[in-house]
Amino acid sequence: MATIKFKLRTSNNPSTIFLRFLGGRKFDFSIPLPLQVNPKNWNENKEEVKNTLSAKEKDQTNTKLRKIKSNVLNSFNELNGNTGLVNKQWLQDIVNKTLTTTLIQHKKPLLDFIEDYIIMMRTKPSAVTGELLSISRQKSYQGTLNKLELFGKEKYKLDFDTITLDFYYDFIEWCEGKDYSKNYIGKFISNIKYFMSEAHEENLHNNLAFRNRKFKNLSEDTDELYLTIEELRKIEEVDLSEYSEGYDTARDLFIIGAYTGLRVSDFNNLSEDNILFVLNTKVIKVATKKTGEPVVIPIHPVVNRILEKRNGELPPKISDQKINNYLKNIGKEAEMNENFKRTSTKGGTKATTLKPRYEHIKTHTARRSFCTNAYLSGMDSIDIMAISGHRTEKSFLKYIKVTKEQIALRMADHPFFTDKKDSIGSYEEMIKEIGGLKYSAILDFLDSLAVEIDTDERVSVNSNKKKLAVNLFSLSV
CATH of the domain at 305: 1.10.443.10
222 within a domain of the structure (yes/no): no
> In the structure, what pLDDT confidence band is assigned to residue 231 with cuts at 50, 70 and 90?
very high
Residues 6+ apart with CB under 8 A from 277: 283
Residue 58 pLDDT greater than 60, yes or no: yes
Question: Tell me, what's the pLDDT at 353?
Answer: 82
| Lowest-pLDDT range of 12-21, 101-110, 163-172, 346-355 | 101-110
Closest to 87 in 3D by CA, of 146, 150, 21: 21
CA atoms within 13 A on the CB side of 298: 9
Contact criterion met (CB below 8 Å) for 8 and 41: no
Confidence of residue 442 (pLDDT cuts 50, 70, 90): low
Q: Which amino acid makes up residue 440? A: S
Q: Which residue has the higher pLDDT, 472 or 124?
A: 124
Instruction: Kindly state whether residue 218 falls inside one of the protein's structural domains.
Output: no
183 has pLDDT over 80: yes
Are 310 and 449 contained in the same domain?
A: no
Q: What is the mean pLDDT of residues 111-135?
A: 77
> For 108-112, 369-373, 436-440, which range has the lowest pLDDT when averaged over its residues?
436-440
Contacts of 235 (CB under 8 A, 6+ apart): 227, 251, 254, 255, 330, 331, 334
pLDDT of 398 higher than 90: no
Residue 140 placed within a domain: yes
Q: Which amino acid is at 477?
A: V
The domain that holds 157 is classified in CATH as: 1.10.150
Q: How confident is the model at residue 130, as a pLDDT?
A: 63
Q: How many CB atoms lie within 10 A of CB 239?
A: 7
**pLDDT tier at 455, thresholds 50, 70, 90:** very low
Whether residues 200 and 295 fall in one domain: no
Co-location of 203 and 280 in the same domain: no
pLDDT digits (tens, 9 = 90+) for 240-251: 999 999 999 999
Residue ranges of alpha helices (H) inside 81-125 are 88-102, 110-123
Asked whether the beta carbons of 342 and 355 are under 8 A apart, the reply is: yes
Higher pLDDT, 254 or 201: 254
State whether 94 and 9 are in the same domain: yes
Query: Is 224 inside a domain boundary?
Result: no
3-state SS, residue 212: coil
Query: Are 240 and 205 in a shared domain?
Result: no
Residue 221 domain flag: no
In the chain, what percentage of residues exceed pLDDT 70? 84
DSSP string, 16-74: EEEEEEEETTTEEEEEEEEEEE-GGGEETTTTEE-S-TT-TTHHHHHHHHHHHHHHHHH
311-335 residue pLDDT tens? 989 999 999 889 999 999 999 999 9
First to last CA, the chain: 89
**How confident is the model over 109-124, as a mean pLDDT?**
86
Give the per-residue pLDDT at 131. 67
Mean of the pLDDT values across residues 360-367? 92
Lowest mean pLDDT among 27-36, 214-223, 388-397: 388-397
Contact 106, 205 (CB under 8 A): yes
Q: Are residues 299 and 394 in the same domain?
A: yes
380 and 272 in a single domain? The answer is yes
Residue 230's contacts (CB-CB under 8 Å, 6 or more residues apart) are: none
**Residue 220 counted as domain residue:** no
Q: How many domains does the structure of the chain reveal?
A: 4
The set of long-range contacts for 389-394, using a CB threshold of 8 Å and a minimum separation of 24, is 389/288, 389/290, 389/291, 389/293, 389/295
Q: Which of 102, 131, 154 is the last residue of a domain?
A: 102
Sign of CA dihedral 86, 92, 97, 98: positive
Whether residue 31 is found in the same domain as residue 164: no
Identify which of 219-233, 293-307, 443-457 has the greatest average pLDDT: 293-307
On whether both 374 and 454 belong to a single domain, the answer is: no
Looking at the structure, tell me whether residues 171 and 263 fall in a common domain: no
- The answer on pLDDT for 453 being more than 50 is no
Is 337 contained in some domain?
Answer: yes
Dihedral sign from CA coordinates of 5, 9, 12, 18? negative
For residues 184-209, one letter each, b for 16 or more C-beta atoms within 10 angstroms of the residue's C-beta and e for the rest, the string is bbbbbbbbbbebbeebbeebbbbbeb
Rounded to an integer, what distance in angstroms lies between the CA atom of residue 49 and that of residue 40?
Answer: 9
* pLDDT recorded at residue 213: 92
Cis peptide leading into 14, omega within 30 of 0?
Answer: yes
pLDDT over 90 for what percent of the chain? 40
Q: Which pLDDT belongs to residue 54?
A: 73
Of 177, 211, 245, the domain-final residue: 211
Calculate the average pLDDT of the chain: 82
pLDDT at 305 over 60: yes
Whether residue 435 sits in one domain with residue 356:
no
Residue 1 has pLDDT above 80, yes or no: no
Domain region containing 82:
3-102
**Whether 366 contacts 196, CB under 8 Å:** no
- Supply the DSSP string of 309-366, one letter for each residue: HTTTPPPPP--HHHHHHHHHHHHHHTT--SEEEEEEEETTEEEEEEEEGGGG--HHHH
Examine residue 15 and state whether it is found in any structural domain, yes or no: yes
Q: What is the pLDDT of residues 62-108, one digit of tens each?
A: 888 988 988 898 888 888 777 778 898 989 988 988 887 655 444 57
Lowest model confidence (mean pLDDT) among 121-130, 171-180, 314-323, 360-369: 121-130
Instruction: For residues 398 and 456, state if they share a domain.
Output: no
Residues 164-192 have a mean pLDDT of 93
Domain boundary residue, one of 80, 102, 124: 102
